[in-house]
C-alpha cells in the first residue's frame, strides 16, 4: 500500500507568510500545509474524488493538511488495536475512512469514492508511520521555524 504526499512549494511559501512559530496549534493542524495526498491499497485509489464529468479520469490526489494525517490519522490507525474498528474523518471535507479489523486484516472503506480494500495491519501502520516521519523530515527542513513552535516543535523533534 502507498500513503504519500506531494510537496507544494507555493503552499509552503504562502503558509510561511504568517509566522508558523506563533500560529495557532490547531490551525496548523487543520488548515496549514495542504498538500496533494494519495492512499493506494492494492491498486485502489481511496482518495480519488469521482469527477463530475464521467468521461474524465479521477485524480488519485486529495488535498489534505499533512500534519493532520501524520498525527490524527496515525492515532486512528493505532486505535484499531484497541477497538477492532476506527474512523478517521478527513479534515476539510468530512469524508471518512472506516477501518474494520478482522484478525490482522483491516478492511478500509473510503467515503471519498465508496471503494474499499483490505490490508494487513502491520502494513497499514507502517504506511502511516512512514508518512508521519516523512512529514517531520520535510517540514523540519522546509519550515525550520516550526521547530520553535511550542506545540508542534516538540512533535517535530520526537523520533
Partner 1 sequence: MGGAPVNGIDPAGRWLTPDTILDIGFIAYNIYALATGGRKALGIKLSALGADIGGLLIPGVTGLGTASRVAREGKKLLPFVPRLAQGNLKMGLEHIVHRHWHSSGFAHVSKFGAEVGVKELRGIIHAAATRGAGWRVEGASRVIESNVGRIIRTDPAGHATSWVSVVINQAGEVITAYPIPLR
Q: Please identify which residue in 22, 75, 84, 122 interacts with partner 1, judged by CB under 8 A.
A: 75
- Exposure string of 126-147, with b = 16+ CB inside 10 Å and e = fewer, is ebbeebbebbbebbeeebeebb
Binding segment (CB under 8 A) for partner 1, from list 85-93, 116-124, 126-134, 139-147: 85-93
Q: Tell me how far apart the alpha carbons of residues 138 and 147 are, in angstroms, rounded to a whole number.
A: 12
Please identify which residue in 21, 50, 85, 144 interacts with partner 1, judged by CB under 8 A.
Answer: 50
Do 72 and 59 form a contact (C-beta atoms < 8 A)?
Answer: no
Query: Which residue stretch of 3-11, 28-36, 97-105, 123-131 sits at the interface with partner 1 (rule: CB under 8 A)?
Result: 28-36
Site string for partner 1, 109-138 (x = CB under 8 A): --x---------------------------
> At a CB cut-off of 8 Å and minimum separation 6, what does 27 contact?
none
Question: What cell numbers appear for 20 in the block?
Answer: 508558523
Q: Which of 9, 10, 42, 52 binds partner 1 (CB under 8 A)?
A: 52
Single residue of 9, 10, 26, 141 touching partner 1 by CB under 8 A: 26
Compute CA distances 17 → 12, 14, 100, 131, whole Å: 9, 5, 41, 25
Q: Which listed residue (7, 11, 12, 49) binds partner 1 by CB under 8 A?
A: 49
Give phi and psi for 16, each to the nearest 5. -80, -10
Least Cβ distance, residue 139 to partner 1 (angstroms): 15
Amino acid at each position: 500500500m502507498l500513503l504519500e504526499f506531494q510537496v507544494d512549494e507555493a503552499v509552503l511559501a504562502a503558509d510561511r507568510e504568517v509566522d508558523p512559530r506563533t500560529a495557532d496549534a490547531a490551525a496548523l493542524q487543520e488548515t496549514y500545509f495542504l498538500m496533494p495526498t494519495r492512499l493506494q491499497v492494492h491498486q485502489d485509489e481511496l482518495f480519488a474524488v469521482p469527477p463530475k464529468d464521467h468521461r474524465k479520469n479521477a485524480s488519485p490526489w486529495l488535498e489534505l493538511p499533512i500534519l493532520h494525517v501524520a498525527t490524527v490519522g496515525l492515532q486512528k490507525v493505532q486505535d484499531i488495536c484497541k477497538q477492532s474498528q476506527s474512523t478517521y474523518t478527513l479534515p476539510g471535507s468530512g469524508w471518512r475512512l472506516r477501518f474494520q479489523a478482522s484478525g490482522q486484516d483491516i478492511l478500509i472503506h473510503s467515503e471519498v469514492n465508496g471503494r474499499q480494500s483490505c490490508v494487513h495491519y502491520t502494513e497499514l501502520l507502517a504506511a502511516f508511520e512512514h508518512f508521519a516521519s516523512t512529514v517531520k523530515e520535510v517540514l523540519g527542513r522546509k519550515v525550520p521555524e516550526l521547530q520553535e513552535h511550542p506545540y508542534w516543535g516538540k512533535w517535530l523533534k520526537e523520533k
